[in-house]
Structure 1
Amino acid sequence: MSQLPWLHPERVALIEAALRERILVLDGGMGTMLQGHRLDEASFRGERFEHGRDGEHAAHHDHPGCDLKGNNDLLTLTQPAIIRGVHEAYLEAGADLVETNTFNSTRISQADYHLEHLAYELNRAGAQVAREACDAMTARTPHKPRFSIGVLGPTSRTASLSPDVNDPGFRNVSFGELAANYTESASGLIDGGADLIMVETIFDTLNAKAALFALSELFRARGARLPVMISGTITDRSGRTLSGQTAEAFYYSVRHARPLSVGFNCALGAADLRPHVQTLASIAECYVSTHPNAGLPNAFGEYDETPEQMAAVIGGFARDGLLNLVGGCCGTTPAHIAAIAEAVRGVAPRALPSDNAEAA
């Protein structure tokens, strides 16, 4: 993968120059922002998937009659102005990079809504909307270019664990199926204009390996590559991923892909993620990222950590030399990202081990 030329070498040069100069800021939660719109079933369906007057699905629309409310990725097609508005809000808050609204845009995940056939389209459209928002902001601030990250989520299945406690050997997905899903989705992200690809919220490293294999084969088939970011998830205070790996083990399981960055996101707040990010910062040969939740969810499933509280903790990460890229996940808003951007402004980014070796 690493021997292929860059698909967009001028964009990669800008990203690498920015990473050498400062800590880059990622966006915050997409779902958090969409919940604020309080969209109903008709809003999710839009014109393309609207029900017929008799309550049955109209014959000329390409979807059976199950509910679509909650399928946030579908809003890229049915409510693109809302999705672009979320991207713009984070860019205005100071984000250098925004993530596409494609977390669940694989055939496996879209099967819950009988929309498997839209996987490629969802990814291409998601990348296009993010690309347009980034280009518009870059035109306003050419000294600070903005970049779009094509997101590959973990899917709703796990290749390492059985979903049946009575049958530990059972698997409801194969490595090959995951790789095929990721190939299709990544093709859409590339065709839509993503600057980078992020394999994120990894709870099962075998799923991530399928994504990395798919990207390697896809880049080889196209004769060019994009920078790849990898972000795992420490699922609770045990300090391990769902499939049982520590932060160190996770890194050594994916370093062969020679990613641009490795990090952790979701599940925990910044304070609880710190020791795991610190582990990565001490061993990673690449850049280190984190985009934590706004604390742990409360009894109502909501996140209470304020922008000021979160920024104070992350500011400590930055001053201690742990970070190259930072943003927010569940519960975070443009206010959180603005506070984080201010907290890391002017703080030197974590130096790569190769930089330290050259300095010595």
Structure 2
Amino acid sequence: MRDTCFIPVDEWQARTRRLLERLKDGGEVVVAEGYGFEFERRGRLKAGPFVPEIVLERPDLVRGLHEEFVDAGSDVVLAFTYYAGREHMKGIGKESLLENININALKIAREVADATGTLMAGDICNTLVYEKNNQEAIERTKLMFKEQVEWAADNGADYIVAETFCELGEALLALKAIKTYGKGLPAVVTITPKTNDLTFDGVPYHEVGRKLEEAGADVVGFNCGQGPGTIIPLIRRIKQAVKCPIAALPVVYRTTPEQPNFLTLIDPVTGKRSFPLHLSAVACSRDEIYEFARSAKELGVQYIGLCCGNASHYMRVVSEVYGRKPPSSKYSPDMEHMYCLPDQSEFYKTHAEKMKKYT
């Protein structure tokens, strides 16, 4: 474990300001999330528990995906510690891996951030343990947050993300842990909007944003749960309630007002639930991601990204809408040179004529 006593004071103070300096005066930060689903799609992570054992088994692949997302425009390398909290690890018989997974994930993320000039964020998330008014569950939740926040602070995080909470109570516990044990690091706190109106503990989303801001969150908003098709109205409401920067990181699936949560989406061919193994049947197009990013930018969303289902081609779209030209823009689509589509360049005209009956 990296001991913070060996980090010079001036370096530590600079670290605590990096995120806020980028967001100052309307600045924007593009953030790639969605590591768990992407590694599962690549056959490297078990669906169900979604525990990031790949951090220990194939750190080279974790490093590679960090680099891939940075090339696609992410300003942040998010340590892959999602679902690496003590109680979740204990529940699947992996508690012995807890500290190694967290420390290794943070070190990999720090190395990539240093090499690419990006920010590095620690990550804590919903515990699957928290219960309102259950003091024993609350104490277990506090312990989980405390140790993960301390690991993140001690291993070079520039700020800490607390994400995917369905209840204001758990989000406030996570924020308090960052404020208490995070050694001055900024806190980004995001709620998962499972419905269109209220958290599981009955709080309107705009009120959640206000309460988190009052409790000291530096950025508040939404991640996961809903997709581009339904999350914009929620962002609009929360933005009216707070003064701090807003975060928006939806899933990349086609949620609707009737089915606002991606957990309930139905495969249009089979009629079966798509989550979690058949979500490709309800995935967004790049145009939908473009429209989401455009709307978010118009609303003044400063902390923008994508969550479950994210991939580098989606990330590049968001980055380009936000005015960036990352390295992977070199490979952005150029349909003028797609030989089998009509109305292409002179070079492909003959073949395009042959293909018209198919297109």
Which of the five TM-score ranges fits, normalised by the shorter chain? 0.7 to 0.9
Decide whether the 8 Å contact of 1:74 with 1:122 is kept in 2. Answer: yes
Paired residue secondary structure (1:174): helix
- Name the CA distance, whole Å, in 1 between partners of 2:113 and 2:286: 24
Show the 5 A alignment for 1:163-178: 171=134, 174-178=137-141
1:200 counterpart (142, 154, 163)? 163
- One-letter amino acid matched to 2:109: A
Decide whether the 8 Å contact of 1:23 with 1:345 is kept in 2. Answer: no
Show the 5 A alignment for 1:243-262: 243-262=201-220
Decide whether the 8 Å contact of 1:99 with 1:151 is kept in 2. Answer: yes
Pair 1:109 & 2:88 matched: yes
Residues 22 and 256 of structure 1: CA distance in aligned 2, closer, same or farther (over 3 Å)? closer
Which residue number in structure 1 is paired with residue 21 of structure 2?
A: 17
Paired residue secondary structure (1:276): helix
Which residue number in structure 2 is paired with residue 63 of structure 1?
A: none
Paired residue secondary structure (2:32): coil
Which residue number in structure 1 is paired with residue 129 of structure 2?
A: 157
User: In the TM superposition, what is the alpha-carbon distance from 1:70 to its structure 2 partner?
Assistant: 4.7
Residues 6 and 260 of structure 1: CA distance in aligned 2, closer, same or farther (over 3 Å)? farther
For these two proteins, the number of residue pairs brought into alignment is 294
- One-letter amino acid matched to 1:235: K
User: In the TM superposition, what is the alpha-carbon distance from 1:286 to its structure 2 partner?
Assistant: 1.3
Taking structure 2 as the reference length, what is the TM-score of the superposition? 0.75
Which residue number in structure 1 is paired with residue 303 of structure 2?
A: 325
Pair 1:218 & 2:223 matched: no
- Name the CA distance, whole Å, in 1 between partners of 2:177 and 2:21: 28
- One-letter amino acid matched to 1:9: Q
- One-letter amino acid matched to 2:58: Q
Decide whether the 8 Å contact of 1:124 with 1:191 is kept in 2. Answer: no
User: In the TM superposition, what is the alpha-carbon distance from 1:12 to its structure 2 partner?
Assistant: 3.8
- One-letter amino acid matched to 2:13: P
Which residue number in structure 2 is paired with residue 94 of structure 1?
A: 73
Decide whether the 8 Å contact of 1:176 with 1:210 is kept in 2. Answer: no
Which residue number in structure 1 is paired with residue 350 of structure 2?
A: none
Following TM superposition, the consecutive aligned residue runs of length 4 or more in structure 1 with deviations greater than 4 angstroms are 68-71
Which residue number in structure 1 is paired with residue 39 of structure 2?
A: 34
* Cα RMSD for the two superposed structures: 2.4
Pair 1:8 & 2:12 matched: yes
- One-letter amino acid matched to 2:318: I
Higher alpha-carbon Rg: 2
Pair 1:147 & 2:119 matched: yes
Residues 199 and 178 of structure 1: CA distance in aligned 2, closer, same or farther (over 3 Å)? same
User: In the TM superposition, what is the alpha-carbon distance from 1:334 to its structure 2 partner?
Assistant: 0.9
Aligned identity (percent) is 20
- Name the CA distance, whole Å, in 1 between partners of 2:153 and 2:18: 18
Residues 176 and 69 of structure 1: CA distance in aligned 2, closer, same or farther (over 3 Å)? closer
Of structures 1 and 2, the one scoring higher in RCO (CA 8 A, sep 6+) is: 1
User: In the TM superposition, what is the alpha-carbon distance from 1:113 to its structure 2 partner?
Assistant: 1.9
- One-letter amino acid matched to 1:229: V
1:289 counterpart (238, 241, 247)? 247
Contiguous gaps of at least 5 residues in structure 2: 1-8, 256-261, 268-273, 325-359
- Name the CA distance, whole Å, in 1 between partners of 2:320 and 2:173: 37
